[in-house]
Amino acid sequence: MELKKTPFHDRLVELGGRMVAFAGFHMPMQFAGIVEEHLAVRTDAGIFDVSHMGEISISGDGAADYVNKLTTNDVAALDLMQVQYTAMLNDEGGVIDDLLVYRRKFDYLLVVNAVNVERDFGWMSERAPEGVKVRNLSDETAQVAVQGPGAVEMVAAVCDDDVSGLGSFRSMGATIAGVQCLVSRTGYTGEDGLEIYTGSDKAGAVWDAIMKAGSRPVPIGLGARDSLRLEAAFRLHGSDMDETTSPLEAGLGWIVKLDNGDFFGKEVLLRQKAEGVKKRLIGLLSEAKRFPRPGYGVWSGDREVGRVTSGGFAPSLKCGIALAYVEADYAKRSTEFQIDLRGQRTDAKYVRGPFYKRPEPE
């Protein structure tokens, strides 16, 4: 299959991006280097081409009820232009995808993972009741993320509208370089920042305006995108959860609202809640010089209790970090964990929540 190119492809190559195949797209793995890019986002700002992400619009009479039925979080709680992190489950309670839902005036915009667009769109289309329209806007939509403590200021400098006052998980329409965009205060890095959606045909002008600003963000590849999200303990669908794991097992109970109407997979989650889950995704931190990698065994004493699903070197913390599924009985602070680092069982510390927390603004 021929790889798709995003509207920014040529610009990324020109910036020195080392291009790889990812989710059917030709995407940059890195520019200056993963560590350097990672730290740029933590200290200043980085720009990411995330046009490979999928965008699906759900509209029509009953759209709100249908999105609520598709997802685990409470869509009814959303204000106009508010954004919500949520999950879409199969009938067995497994995570088909994790996604953002934007409540807009005339539709709900669902932003999904690139590798899952076809599966998601199929699932949403097949179950749509009469009068509800499901449209896949992925090909005609470009997305740019600008992330880091300096990100909002940099975008605000080239934006006709005031995006600097945008609250967390809020969105607004805004014009950049004469192009109409949807801008939200969201991201996948654990930093402050914005995600900007616009039509693929005019997206280049938006990118150029941001990159020509006085102080401009550093281009960031998929490598640093992954290390940034892992430090924030954000789950990656396909690695840390999939259609065989429930959001309760994946530690996403906070986006599951069991008392707010019916949703696909709810029965299974109610049962899991009553009986307890068998495994749980936890965070582990290792000070060893060998780093935890996906597939490595997690031990407690003489017992293998789980397996690493995401892991590697954390550039901001300068140590190894991992997400791992372990038997639920062991998923607690008092457990002494070891990770089998290629034959060396090495102590690892249980970490609740994000490994990296951004400093409070002064």
Q: Is 339 in the site for other proteins (CB under 8 A)?
A: no
For the bound state, the minimum distance from the C-beta of residue 233 to other proteins, rounded and expressed in Å, comes to 17
Beta carbon nearer to other proteins, 23 or 81? 23
Tell which positions 200-229 bind other proteins, by CB under 8 A: 223, 226-227
Q: Is 238 in the site for other proteins (CB under 8 A)?
A: no
Count, residues near other proteins per rule CB under 8 A: 19
Q: Is 345 in the site for other proteins (CB under 8 A)?
A: no
Beta carbon nearer to other proteins, 289 or 352? 289
- Applying CB under 8 A, among 15, 19, 23, 35 the residue interacting with other proteins is 35
Beta carbon nearer to other proteins, 225 or 279? 225
- Applying CB under 8 A, among 13, 15, 29, 213 the residue interacting with other proteins is 29
Beta carbon nearer to other proteins, 264 or 296? 296
Residues 6+ apart with CB under 8 A from 238: 113, 115, 116
Residues 6+ apart with CB under 8 A from 36: none
Tell which positions 9-28 bind other proteins, by CB under 8 A: 18
Q: Candidates 34-42, 87-95, 96-104, 327-335 — which segment interacts with other proteins by CB under 8 A?
A: 34-42
What radius of gyration, in Å, describes the C-alpha atoms of the chain?
20
| Helix (H), strand (E), coil (C) string for the chain | CCCECCCCHHHHHHCCCEEEEECCEEEEEECCCHHHHHHHHHHCCEEEECCCCEEEEEEECCHHHHHHHHECCCHHHCCCCEEEEEEEECCCCCEEEEEEEEECCCCEEEEECHHHHHHHHHHHHHHCCCCEEEEECCCCEEEEEEECCCHHHHHHCCECCCCCCCCCCEEEEEEECCEEEEEECCCCCCCCEEEEEEEHHHHHHHHHHHHCCCCCCEECCHHHHHHHHHHCCCCCECCCECCCCCCCCCCCHHHCCCCCCCCCCHHHHHHHHHHCCCEEEEEEEECCCCCCCCCCEEEECCEEEEEEEEEEEECCCCEEEEEEEEEHHHCCCCCCEEEEECCEEEEEEEECCCCCCCCCCC
Q: Site mask, other proteins, residues 305-334, x = CB under 8 A?
A: -------xx-x-------------------
- Applying CB under 8 A, among 9, 28, 30, 158 the residue interacting with other proteins is 30
Tell which positions 271-290 bind other proteins, by CB under 8 A: 289-290
Q: Is 342 in the site for other proteins (CB under 8 A)?
A: yes
For the bound state, the minimum distance from the C-beta of residue 44 to other proteins, rounded and expressed in Å, comes to 18
For the bound state, the minimum distance from the C-beta of residue 224 to other proteins, rounded and expressed in Å, comes to 8
- Applying CB under 8 A, among 12, 27, 34, 166 the residue interacting with other proteins is 34
Q: Is 293 in the site for other proteins (CB under 8 A)?
A: yes
Tell which positions 36-75 bind other proteins, by CB under 8 A: 36, 38
Beta carbon nearer to other proteins, 107 or 226? 226
Q: How far is the C-alpha of 189 from the C-alpha of 193, rounded, in Å?
A: 9
Residues that bind other proteins (CB under 8 A): 18, 29-30, 33-36, 38, 223, 226-227, 289-291, 293, 312-313, 315, 342
